[in-house]
Structures are given as C-alpha cells and as structure tokens.
A = this chain, B = another copy of it.
Amino acid sequence: MTAVAEPDGVARSIDPGVVAGMLDEVYAVCRDDTSGSPADYIPELAAVAPDSFGLCLATADGLVYAVGDTGIEFTIQSISKPFTYALALVDRGLAGVAEHIDVEPSGEPFNEISLEPDTQRPSNPMINSGAITAASLIHGRDAADKFERVRRCYSRFAGRELQMNQAVYESEARTGYRNRAIGYMLRSVGIIDVDPDDAVDRYFRQCSIEITCADLAVMAATLADNGVNPRTGERALSTALTERVLSVMTTCGMYNAAGDWVTTVGLPAKSGVGGGIIAVLPGQIGISVYSPRLDGQGNSVRGVAACRELSRRLELHFCHVTRSARTAIRADYSVAQVPSRSRRSPEDAEVLAAHGDRARVYELHGDLLFAGAERAVRAIESKVGALDALVIDLRRVGEVSAVARGMLDALQTELVRGGSRVALVDPDAKLGHEASSLDPGDPRGRVFIDRDTAAEWCEDIILDLHRPPGQRAQTSIGLDEHPLLAGLDAGYRTRLAADFEPRTFARGELIADRGDPRSGLYLILDGRVRATFSGTDGRVHRLLTLSAGMSFGEIPMLIGEPFMYEISAETTVRVAVMPPDVFDQLTEGHPRLKLALLQRLAAGAYEQMAATVRTLSGNAGNY
C-alpha cells in the first residue's frame, strides 16, 4: 500500500495503482539490504531508527507517490549544498560565484579541503569547502537575516516552511572542528572574504534543517520543473540557474562515486549523511529516498540501490534513448490533394487540379527542439522555388524552443526570398506573430487560426497566378444563370423565377442559426456564405463556404427539420429565396417541376458529400 499525497496537500491511502505498484516493488527489492551504519559523528545522527526507509517520486504536475517512512523528519545535511549554491548564484551571479568556487569533480572524499593549486578555489560547491564558501556568499543584513534567507529558499523548494533542528545544530557546532579548519583555511587564502566563523555557522545551520522524504521529492521535482515548485506554482529558481545547479550535481553530487553514479543511475543527484538522497530527471520527475545506513562513501546504501533500480526500471538514465529524433512534420500535402472547404466553380476547380501542387500545407507536431526542427526546415526548404504558397500548421506543436523559433523565422525569410507566399496556422501565437501581416513581402506573413482558411488563401493565390487570361472568378450571376434553373426548359424556368424573392445580407450577418426552423430555399447570386459549427474545442469551425451558383436551406425545406449549423454571410451576399409555403405548394401544383428541382438539389447534395469524403480521406489518419 502506498500513500499518495494529492496536489491539494491531503495525503490519503489508495489502492496501489500501476505506478505505486512499481514503487512498491522497488521498495521491497531494496528493503532487505541492512548493511552499513548511520552517521555517528554526533549523537543526534546516531540516534535515528537505522532501518527507516522511505521512497518518493514526485511528478512534474506535483503528485507525490510515497512508500514507507516518508513522513519522518531528519536533517538535510549535505543535500543542502545545491540549494545554498543556488541562492549564492541568485545573490552573486554565475561569474561572481565562479570567482570563489569551481565546478570540477574532485575525485576525493567530501571533507577534503580540495583547493585548486593555482586559484585556491574549492573544486566544487558539493564538497564541504565549496559549500562553506557558498554559505559565505549569501546576502543579508546580518547573520540571522542571511540564514533566514537560506531557510526561506529551501522552503520555497519544499513548498512548506522548514525549520532547523536546534539540537543537531548545537551538536554540529560543538564538534565541527574540521569544518572550522576549512573555513579558516579558505579565509587565509582569500576565498572567503567575510568572518569564516559566520560562514561555517551558517553551514552548520543549513545542514540542520529538517525535512521529510516527501519534502525532498518536491524539492527534486522543483529542480526537474525548471525551478518552479510544481505544487505551489512558485518559482524557486530561474531556469538558467536551475540548469547550472543540475549540471554540478551531475558531476559532483555523489562525492567520489560520481562516475559510478553517472554510469548506473545517470541522473543529477545529491546525498547527505542524514540518509537522504535526491535525484532529478530534468523536465520529468524528482526522486527522494531516506534510509540512514550509509556506505563507505557516505551515501545511503538503500538510497543508492533504490535510485539504481528506479533508473533501470523506469528508464530514466539521461543517455538512454528511446528513439532518435524524427522530423517535426506530421503530414504534408498539396491543396490539390486536400482542398479547402471552399466550394469552387468548375472552371476554378480545374485550375486548382492542374496547379494545386504549387501550394502545400505542412503540419508540424510535437515539441520543437533543434533536431526535429532541423528535419522539418530541411524538408520545407528543399521546395524553395517550387511553391507559390505554403502553409505551416503549428496547431499540434507543443512547446517551441527559442532555437526552433529562430529557425522557422529564418525559413520564412528564405521562402519569401524564393518567391513563395507563406502563412502560419498558429492560433496561440507560438511563434510570437501576434498579428497577420498583409504585406506579401513581409516574411512574418499571414497568420490564420484554422488550416482550412489558410488552405483557401493558398488556393486563391494559385487561382490568381494560374487562371487562364480572360477567365475571371465568377462572383455574380443572374437568377436565370443559376445552375438550379439554368438547365430547366424556358417555361419551367420563368414560372419558378417568379416564385423567388431577392434578399441581401451584410458581411458577417447571420442568415440562419443552428436550430432555426426552415426559412426557404436559398440560391446564391453574389458573394460568399459560410456554414460553421462549434467544435468540442470551443472554437468555431468552417464546414463549407458556398459562393455564387450554389444553394442552401434545401434539406430543412424538404423535411421540415431545423438548420443543422449556422449560416452567415462571409461577404455582402445577394440571394434569391423561395419561401417555404411556395415550395410546399409546388407539390400539388407542379409535381414534375418540383421533381426536376429535387433532382438538381440531389446533385448539389452529392457534390457536398463528395467534398466531405475528400476531406475525410485527407484526414484518414485521424479516424
């Protein structure tokens, strides 16, 4: 049984579940090893229950899986080092800290003084000399204020107010001769430029801060989460400094077992003589273990074993590759292969069939890091010169790294220089193009919120460039020319034409709302009309755009059902409408005329179905 602490902070017991069950197994595998002994250089550390064992895994959304003794408080000891180093970096900057502490693994035990021969700097902030130096660099009005800033820093990582254990502190302070020696040595070579007793005292205090195994998991998850505490949402450290702290933990976190740790666990980590270990998979999870029995290098025996098991079973090693980088292109096709939902006249459809391969849509997906973006950019730039227009659809993309954003900007410039018009489908402005640019020479180009409209924009470019001389877009027709009447014999046509009423709608006007009762048979004479529906994603999607020579409203008319979707005017629209009562009377008065009308309406329905099937085929992978 595993207690899972929910993000609301309430811990409760539940049935194991899959992940909790996996942790239970790791716990069981490691529990039997009772070798090693707790630290005993001060009585308080020797007094712990030596066989306590807790194991936690915290996720990037702040859930903590916990097995065993995860609520016992113990002192953080050396696991404090990366956090004080972090605060020193905040206070002094990377360069300011680097003047005092290097970042090289020392290959020596934690309590070696290990100063570099030339600069006298401690090798790294994870050995005592480096940690005491880091403590000396903390800003504050006075000693009390400086330590309070350290305590608050740790508390932000843990997501609760941590406190110092006074007895442990006093014991450390009473017996810490070696650390005092280190402090004075550092002062003598000028690496510490304040009172060394003050720095060493702060170091004793920070080591005496009490945490639980569950606290450590959240602290580790905060490092995993770019410095943001996933439970409180509070930023404990900047992204850049978090990266630095994790780097140093990678090479220097596990004392002189760093190499073995990197090969068998492969996670930035830090251990403490209190029996704790934290390990971090950047971006993913934080792990903590508590078990006081230590090995010869001062690392928790069961802690090391549990981290190895977790890394192996959960495949967490940072050199472990599940698969190689792949292109960020999910699909690509020309507008000849997957047309927009704008219904075109037969002449225009012919132009698009012949030249539509000169306009392509590229759908990207996944998080855009360098390698995936490189493959995508390479594929797209191979088409420079061969395309009149192209659409880069970013709706399925997750995060866009700064390098990928720069690459896509450069790609747009290159494409525009090569003579292509470029549009983005980027409703969330992932590339930072907050507004569409209407200037065709502007590489930042057009920005659409849906792919279909972008594809239509491409089609319009193709039509403008490739329509035969003299052939114009048919935007306006007379009622006699409307295909629904044009094929009828003259007598029928005249009789019917009299039954239609002219109407005009302004751009954007709603012609029929979803659920409206039938209101007539509409023939479009001028302008464009759009049928839309609201998707489960809360956005309005276009189903079809209809233009002069097309019709709508027929199905509600025929069967008396309400409109299935919204119909609105995309431009100023002129229509001819046959009112419902006139339509109904036709059955009695002129059944053959009505049959001819229905047959033509069915032809329109067929065309509409065919367009739907084309759309479905183009998106077949989605079904």
Report which A residues bind B (CB closer than 8 A): 17-19, 21-22, 59-61, 63, 102-108, 123-124, 224-226, 230, 239, 242-244, 246-248, 250-252, 256-260, 262-263, 266, 268, 281-285, 313-326, 333, 337-338, 366-367, 369-371, 374-375, 377-378, 381, 395, 398-399, 401-403, 406-407, 410-411, 414, 450-452, 533-537, 539, 541-543, 555, 558-559, 561, 564-565, 587, 591-592, 594-595, 598-599, 602-603, 605-606, 609-610, 612-613, 616-623
By CB atoms of chain B within 10 A, which of A317, A536, A565, A622 has the most?
A: A622
A/B interface sample: 21 pairs, CB < 8 A: A19-B374, A103-B260, A105-B107, A107-B107, A243-B266, A243-B319, A247-B263, A247-B319, A250-B319, A251-B262, A283-B323, A283-B371, A322-B401, A323-B398, A323-B399, A533-B613, A558-B598, A558-B599, A559-B602, A561-B603, A598-B602
Chain B residues near A324 (CB, 8 Å)?
Answer: 60-61, 224-226, 230, 283-284
By the criterion CB–CB under 8 Å, are A22 and B407 in contact?
A: yes
By the criterion CB–CB under 8 Å, are B602 and A284 in contact?
A: no
By the criterion CB–CB under 8 Å, are A621 and B401 in contact?
A: no
By the criterion CB–CB under 8 Å, are B106 and A616 in contact?
A: no
By the criterion CB–CB under 8 Å, are B587 and A592 in contact?
A: yes
Chain B residues near A542 (CB, 8 Å)?
Answer: 623
Give CA–CA (A101, B246) in the complex, Å. 27
Sample of 19 further A-B pairs with CB below 8 A, known A17-B378, A284-B369, A337-B536: A22-B406, A22-B407, A103-B263, A104-B107, A107-B108, A224-B324, A225-B321, A281-B371, A282-B320, A283-B324, A285-B370, A322-B399, A323-B398, A539-B620, A558-B602, A558-B606, A564-B609, A564-B613, A591-B592
By the criterion CB–CB under 8 Å, are B259 and A606 in contact?
A: no
By CB atoms of chain B within 10 A, which of A22, A108, A542, A558 has the most?
A: A558
Assuming the contacts A60-B371, A247-B319, asked whether A613 and B398 have C-beta atoms less than 8 A apart, the reply is: no
By the criterion CB–CB under 8 Å, are B592 and A102 in contact?
A: no
Partner of A621, one of B535, B592, B623: B535
By CB atoms of chain B within 10 A, which of A19, A226, A592 has the most?
A: A19
By the criterion CB–CB under 8 Å, are A263 and B282 in contact?
A: no
Chain B residues near A451 (CB, 8 Å)?
Answer: 623
- Shortest distance between the CB of A577 and any CB in chain B (Å): 19
Say how many copies of this protein the assembly contains.
2
Q: Return the chain B residue nearest A106 by Cβ.
A: B107
Give CA–CA (A318, B63) in the complex, Å. 24
- Shortest distance between the CB of A242 and any CB in chain B (Å): 8
Q: Return the chain B residue nearest A608 by Cβ.
A: B609
Give CA–CA (A370, B59) in the complex, Å. 10
By the criterion CB–CB under 8 Å, are A19 and B407 in contact?
A: yes
By the criterion CB–CB under 8 Å, are B102 and A259 in contact?
A: yes
By the criterion CB–CB under 8 Å, are A403 and B621 in contact?
A: no
Give CA–CA (A370, B23) in the complex, Å. 13
